[in-house]
Chains A and B, each alone.
Chain A
Amino acid sequence: MKFIDEFRDTELAKVVINRIHRNSKRHIRLMEFCGGHTVTIMKHGIRQLLPETVEMLSGPGCPVCVTAHKDLDKAIALARDPEVILTSFGDMLKVPGSYSSLQKVRADGADVRIVYSTLDALQIARENRDKSVVFIGIGFETTAPTIAASVMQAEEEGIENYYVLSLHKLCPPVIKALLDSGEVRLDGLICPGHVSAVIGSRPWDFAARDYGIACVVSGFEPLDVLQSVAMLAEQLEKGEPKVEIAYRRGVRREGNLRAQELMNTVFEPSPAHWRGMGEVPESGLRLRKEYQAFDAELCFDFDPGPTREPKGCICGDILRGVKTPLDCKLFRGACTPEHPVGPCMVSSEGSCASYYHYGNL
């Protein structure tokens, strides 16, 4: 078993779709939190296969998209420092900040390097002891432990020129903020599979218990998503919202304890800025006191200047699930993957990019 093709079986998919059609009687609104799920749904035309009773909304689960303008400007300002080598995951480069982008400052001579992993960023730090190597820590709970691991490794090896700009975000707090805002009415949540591989399914309990939201942790193949929708529809028909794991091969209820331990050793929760949502308490991660020597925010003096949001871009509303890319006047016109106006068009898992590539319009 290679754990991919088995979960793309079209015959089985048809069966699950039939089952959803048969079982889903009342209208329900489900949100797929994760941009990876949005891609699966759009790519395989899952929305069109579901009955009219099942409405699907995309959520804020795209780390690049939710990075606030002001934080992006910080990264760009840091990249301009001639003493700095800025390392980043590839999807950040094209995102337009207030005045520039990492790609533009790189074209102007800044040393910005795309890395696949913090392991690569650490290697760059080892090889360039005379420079400061800053890694832009973007990502959710899936990624944060890998970045924590790099900080611990740097400490162990005495790599003193490695820094992290911690822009990490935590998923359960932002879901709570979304639910508290009352702006979107939800019945069920497709919970992010790889975030939950790390944190487990318990952190979603509050949504079922306190808000009556049905929750199913899903994998990323089409069958995974369909199975999760079927489970959500059945929970809601029975009127018994709870937290279930459909993605059992990848997620245990308690999560990955070792990864949680590393993340908690290096980071502590802090307020964070989300695009479209503003500041959400305890929804980010900052380096703990013991690791402050690696904190780019504290160790560098930089001025990102005043923030300027792109005119006409409604990424923020899309991330909150209150609008879709089709509501944006710039979609497919002034805003395309080649010339993106907002981050939701840049990131491969941004809603606008998904609609652009897979929306059969």
Chain B
Amino acid sequence: MCLAIPALVKSIDGNEAEAELGGISRRISILLTPEAKVGDYVLLHTGYAINVIDEEEAKETLKLLAEMASLEEELEE
């Protein structure tokens, strides 16, 4: 029930926003994430954005995993 899925903010109107998830447009509340901007991905939970997804951190995590991958390869050789 704590499911939250990434949704893309398309437009903002006060505490509400139009967001896209899986190709579907939906009206959501951004009351809990006043910092959300158009173009941000937010974590959407029961109609509310509960956090703005940090793209830099996502890239960092993937980079870290990719580095792990090359290290693993070296170890295997």
Contact = CB atoms under 8 A, between A and B. Distances in A.
Contacts of A34: 2
B68 A16 contact: yes
A197 B4 contact: yes
A128 interface: no
Given A116-B46, A142-B50, A249-B61, 17 more contacts: A12-B62, A16-B65, A16-B68, A18-B72, A19-B72, A64-B1, A143-B45, A146-B32, A193-B2, A194-B3, A194-B45, A197-B50, A227-B61, A249-B58, A250-B51, A256-B50, A259-B50
Interface string B59-77: 1111001101100100110
Interface in B27-77: 29, 31-34, 41, 43, 45-48, 50-51, 53-55, 57-62, 65-66, 68-69, 72, 75-76
A139 B1 contact: yes
Contact of B1 (A15, A91, A251): A91
Q: Give the bracket for the number of chain B residues in contact with chain A.
A: 35 or more
A246 B31 CA distance: 26
A139 B2 contact: yes
A145 interface: yes
Interface of B: 1-6, 29, 31-34, 41, 43, 45-48, 50-51, 53-55, 57-62, 65-66, 68-69, 72, 75-76
Interface string A51-90: 0000000000111100000000000000000000000010
Contacts of A62: 1
Interface stretch (A3-11, A99-107, A276-284, A306-314): A3-11
B32 A143 contact: no
B46 A15 contact: no
- Greatest chain A CB density within 10 A among B3, B51, B76 is at B51
A276 to B, nearest CB: 17
Contacts of B5: 4
A256 B33 contact: yes
A15 B69 contact: yes
Interface stretch (A117-125, A206-214, A236-244, A333-341): A117-125
Interface of B is mostly: mixed
A26 interface: no
Interface of A: 1-4, 6, 11-12, 15-16, 18-19, 22, 34-36, 61-64, 89, 91, 116-120, 138-140, 142-143, 145-146, 149, 192-195, 197-198, 220, 223, 227, 246, 248-252, 256, 258-259, 262, 347, 349
16 contacts: A3-B41, A12-B66, A22-B75, A61-B2, A117-B46, A143-B1, A146-B29, A146-B46, A198-B51, A248-B54, A248-B61, A249-B55, A249-B57, A250-B43, A252-B54, A347-B1
Contact of A118 (B1, B41, B47): B47
Nearest to B61: A248
A234 to B, nearest CB: 11
A192 B45 CA distance: 14
B2 to A, nearest CB: 4
Contacts of A118: 46-47
